[in-house]
């Protein structure tokens, strides 16, 4: 299958591109620099520079492909995430670029489109298990644009293709800025994962997310939740962070995060115990890491002694 991938050098894209090529797909990966082009070419893909806000350029680039995988985001770093203006480019990508990609995919006669999304649009649901079938979203302003991108995938399905939305949990993994920031704080004795101590957060290792993208090339149209098997509470996550860096002292509670992040941090303090049951059943996919308790120590390596 000829697959056009955006966000190819981002958090999910980096592990996804080599998995796609290893599976025998012919991959065209959108890049923004010669260095990024070299990165995707090393993984067996062809790099191409495309302005995703240019509808004509996107249409030309997508022509001839069987599938489009849209993984592009522009998530601001934690130090800037409290400013609503820092999310402007990310919102524009979800609103405009996703529309251009669907237009291009329809014009190309592509059979399939996979759209990245997030679980943070779900309401605060306490201890109840939730998923795309059982629980309508209640997005905050920060994540509302994700539903706009999801609607574009539905438009692709309505046009006769197979549109697949993957709602991912909170990413973690080696080299990810958010993971590294949490670990730096934990090493200072400030292990904190967001939300009330008993609030659930649903996570996914980036390698498991990448495997889910590949699996999504063979599932029916629809919206699926891609999270690990065992969401942890904020207190449990904090314990895992502290243990991973060999610390025992930690701070819990949403107060500091809400003061720093304001309304943009609100989705991160909701309790969202999301189930991956439906995607597992249709895709034959399962996460390598059942929970952050398994995956994060593997990211960090052996904890310091003493």
Tell whether 252 is covered by a domain: no
- Secondary structure of residue 40 in the 3-state scheme: helix
User: Is 21 a residue whose pLDDT tops 60?
Assistant: yes
Q: How many helices (H) and strands (E) does the chain have?
A: 12, 13
Tell whether 258 is covered by a domain: no
Structural domain harbouring 139 = 2-172+204-228+274-288
Find which of 17-21, 174-178, 197-201 is predicted with most confidence, using mean pLDDT. 17-21
pLDDT in tens, 88-135: 877 898 999 999 999 999 999 999 999 999 999 999 999 999 999 999
Tell whether 94 is covered by a domain: yes
User: Is 255 a residue whose pLDDT tops 80?
Assistant: no
Q: What pLDDT is recorded for position 262? A: 52
- Cα 62 from Cα 68, distance rounded (Å): 8
Segment 123-152 shows an average pLDDT of 94
Tally the domains of the chain: 1
Tell whether 134 is covered by a domain: yes
Residue 118 in contact with residue 168, Cβ under 8 Å?
Answer: yes
Tell whether 100 is covered by a domain: yes
- Cα 235 from Cα 212, distance rounded (Å): 28
- Cα 273 from Cα 261, distance rounded (Å): 22
User: Is 273 a residue whose pLDDT tops 50?
Assistant: yes
Tell whether 90 is covered by a domain: yes
pTM of the model: 0.92
User: Is 83 a residue whose pLDDT tops 80?
Assistant: no
Lowest mean pLDDT among 94-108, 167-181, 224-238, 242-256: 242-256
Say how many C-beta atoms besides its own lie within 10 A of residue 74's C-beta: 16
Q: For the chain, what percent of residues have pLDDT higher than 90?
A: 74
pLDDT band at residue 139 using 50, 70 and 90 as cut-offs: confident
Q: What pLDDT is recorded for position 76? A: 58
User: Is 259 a residue whose pLDDT tops 50?
Assistant: no
Segment 35-58 shows an average pLDDT of 96
Say how many C-beta atoms besides its own lie within 10 A of residue 118's C-beta: 24
Type and span of the H or E element at 39? helix 34-42
Q: What pLDDT is recorded for position 86? A: 59
- Secondary structure of residue 245 in the 3-state scheme: coil
Tell whether 238 is covered by a domain: no
Segment 184-199 shows an average pLDDT of 84
Where residue 149 sits, what CATH number does that domain have?
3.40.50.720
Lowest mean pLDDT among 81-90, 115-124, 285-294: 81-90
Tell whether 236 is covered by a domain: no
- Cα 17 from Cα 26, distance rounded (Å): 10
Q: What pLDDT is recorded for position 256? A: 52
């Amino acid at each position: 299958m000829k697959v056009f991938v955006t966000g190819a050098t981002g958090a999910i894209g980096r592990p996804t591109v080599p998995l796609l090529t290893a599976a025998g797909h012919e991959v065209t990966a959108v890049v923004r620099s010669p260095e990024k082009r070299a990165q995707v070419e090393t993984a067996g893909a062809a790099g191409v520079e495309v302005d995703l806000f240019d509808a004509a350029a996107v249409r030309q680039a997508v022509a001839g492909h069987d599938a489009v995988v849209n993984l592009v985001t522009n998530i601001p770093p934690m130090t800037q995430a409290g400013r609503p203006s820092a999310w402007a480019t990310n919102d524009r990508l979800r609103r405009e670029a996703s529309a251009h990609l669907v237009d291009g995919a329809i014009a190309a006669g592509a059979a399939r489109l996979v759209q990245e999304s997030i679980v943070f649009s779900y309401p605060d649901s306490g201890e109840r298990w939730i998923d795309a079938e059982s629980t309508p979203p209640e997005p905050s302003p920060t994540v509302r644009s994700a539903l706009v991108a999801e609607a574009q995938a539905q438009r692709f399905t309505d046009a006769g293709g197979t549109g697949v939305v993957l709602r991912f949990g909170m990413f973690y993994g080696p080299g990810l800025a958010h993971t590294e920031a949490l670990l730096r704080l934990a090493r200072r004795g400030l292990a904190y994962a967001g939300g009330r101590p008993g609030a659930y957060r649903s996570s996914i290792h980036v390698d498991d997310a990448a495997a889910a993208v590949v699996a999504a090339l063979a599932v029916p149209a629809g919206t699926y939740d891609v999270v690990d098997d065992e969401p942890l509470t904020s207190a449990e996550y904090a314990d895992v962070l502290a243990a991973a860096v060999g610390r025992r002292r930690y701070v819990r509670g949403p107060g500091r995060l809400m003061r720093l992040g304001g309304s943009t941090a609100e989705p991160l303090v909701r309790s969202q115990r999301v189930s991956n049951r439906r995607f597992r059943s249709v895709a034959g996919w399962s996460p390598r890491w059942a929970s952050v308790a398994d995956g994060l120590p593997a990211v960090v390596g052996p904890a310091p002694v003493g």
